[in-house]
Each structure stands twice: as structure tokens, then as C-alpha cells.
Amino acid sequence: MSTIIRTTTAQLCCDSEWEAAYRRFETPEEEIRKFVARLNAFGASSWPKYDQIVEIFCGRGNGLKALKQLGFQRLEGVDLSEKLLLQYEGDAQCYVADCRKLPFEDGSRDVVIVQGGMHHLPLLPDDLNAVLKEVHRILRPGGRFYAVEPWRTPFLTFVHFVSELSLARRLWDKLDALAVMTEHERTTYEQWLGRGPEILSLLDHYFVQNSSTQSWGKLRYAGVRRD
């Protein structure tokens, strides 16, 4: 059973309407399946099983469950919301902490993962720089960083266009849930989508890119800690 260590005052980034829409958008089982598929696409089936892995912005911990399903044991999660962390049922060690100041020692972890979280940062590029600097600090030499975040692609533009149509939203609950979430995180989300080149250049500053794809409304990035 997970224990939670508090290193900062818990905060909610997302209000109850956002959370309700998030629950409507996909079930935990669907989300875990999605995370397993993404991790496999990053090659997780061949990562050493004893890797020490931190999932940042881990929310209710479905990414940690996906990692556990893939056979990883040494798992930790970090999120600012104690409320979301309390929804996680698993044995990873979880921390209520701000990802701009991670509660780990220098050079102590093998892998850091984020699956949708950095687009919630209020101040770009400063907050992103703070998070990436921390990720770089806690990774061992050769440590890897994997990120999946929303990205402005033609597909995303189309989805946003359709989600503005009330008939489409009435007919497809998932689309309506997405539209509600987007409305509630609009400021940080729009800011994130508008800063693509700056985000890629910051990633490049801290990591040597292994792969980076931008398709279907997502950035999928894998990099190795720059020496």
C-alpha cells in the first residue's frame, strides 16, 4: 500500500468540474491501457526492471499502475494534489511536492516520466525550465526522460474545432468531457500550445534527444540526461 510523504502544502491545480470531466473522459482501466501502450512505444519492455522510476505530475497514479503492470517495482510518484494521490491504490512511494522542486537527491534516479502535466505550469518558460532543471539534477548520468504532452498538430486543431460544436458535444460525451477540461485549463493549455519551439529548445538544453514525434495532438519525447 502506498504511503504519502508531504514536502509542501498540497494544492489543487484542477477544480471539481475539471476532475468530473477527467473521470468522464476515460475510465482508469482505459487510461492504464493507454499509458501501457505509450510506455511500450518508448521501449519500456526492454528497460531494466530494477530501474528507479519517478513519474512526475502523476495525479491519481494510473501511470504508476501501468509501470507496475510492465514489471517495474521501484516506483515513485510526485504530484501537488494530495487529493488525487489519495485516489491511487498501489505500492509506489508518493510525494506531495511541487515538480519545480523535486524531493530527491542529485543523480539518484534512472528514469523520469511525465504523461500530461507540464502543460499545467502557470509561467512559461520559467516554470518549465525549473522542472527540467530538477529532472536533470535528480537523474543519474545516462538517466532517461520521457514526456508525453499536448501538441499543436492539425489533428488537435480539428478536435478543438469539432469540440466547439454543441451538437457534436451532445452526441459524443468524450468530446464534451475534453472540451470542459480544456475550458478549465485554457490559460496554461493555450500558453503551452503556443510555445512549441521554446519548449523543444529547453528540452534540448537539458537532454540529448533520442526521439521526438509530434502527431495526433501529442508530443512524445525521449531524451538522455545531458552531461
Ligand X SMILES: C[S@@+](CC[C@H](N)C(=O)[O-])C[C@H]1O[C@@H](n2cnc3c(N)ncnc32)[C@H](O)[C@@H]1O
Cell of 170: 451532445
Q: Using the rule CB under 6 A, is 52 a contact of ligand X?
A: no
Give least dist CB 16 to ligand X, A. Answer: 13
Smallest gap from residue 86 Cβ to ligand X (A): 12
Q: Indicate the length of the chain as a whole number.
A: 227
Q: Check residue 75 for interaction with ligand X (CB under 6 A).
A: no
Q: Cis before residue 125, ω within 30 degrees of 0?
A: yes
CB of 37 to ligand X, least distance (A): 14
What DSSP state is assigned to residue 32? H
Instruction: Name which of 204, 98, 219, 85 is nearest 150 in CA terms.
Output: 219
- Do 55 and 77 touch, CB atoms closer than 8 A? yes
| Other beta carbons within 10 Å of 26 | 16
Does the footprint of ligand X cover residue 117 (CB under 6 A)? yes
Ranges of H-type helices in 42-123: 62-69, 82-85
Q: How far apart are CA 201 and CA 204, in angstroms?
A: 5
63 binding ligand X? (CB under 6 A) = yes
Using CB under 6 A, which of the segments 52-60, 143-151, 169-177, 197-205 binds ligand X? 52-60
Cβ distance to ligand X smaller for residue 170 or 216: 216
Question: Of 47, 67, 72, 81, which lies in the binding site for ligand X, with binding defined by CB under 6 A?
Answer: 81
Supply the minimum distance, in Å, between the C-beta of residue 141 and ligand X: 25
Minimal CB distance to ligand X: which residue? 59
Residues 125-164 touching ligand X, rule: CB under 6 A, are none
71: DSSP letter: T
- The one among 38, 39, 54, 62 contacting ligand X by CB under 6 A: 62
* E strand or H helix at 200: helix 196-206
Window 12-51: contact mask with ligand X (x via CB under 6 A):
-xx-------------------------------------
The CA radius of gyration of the chain, in Å to the nearest whole number, is 17
> Taking CB under 6 A as the rule, does residue 99 contact ligand X?
yes
If the CB atoms of residues 80 and 178 are measured against ligand X, the closer one turns out to be 80
Beta-strand runs (E) in the chain: 4-6, 53-56, 75-79, 93-96, 109-115, 139-150, 207-215, 218-225
Least distance in angstroms from the C-beta of 114 to ligand X: 8
Residue 213 to residue 100: CA distance in whole angstroms? 25
**Interface residue list for ligand X (CB under 6 A):** 13-14, 57-60, 62-63, 78-81, 84, 98-100, 115-117, 120
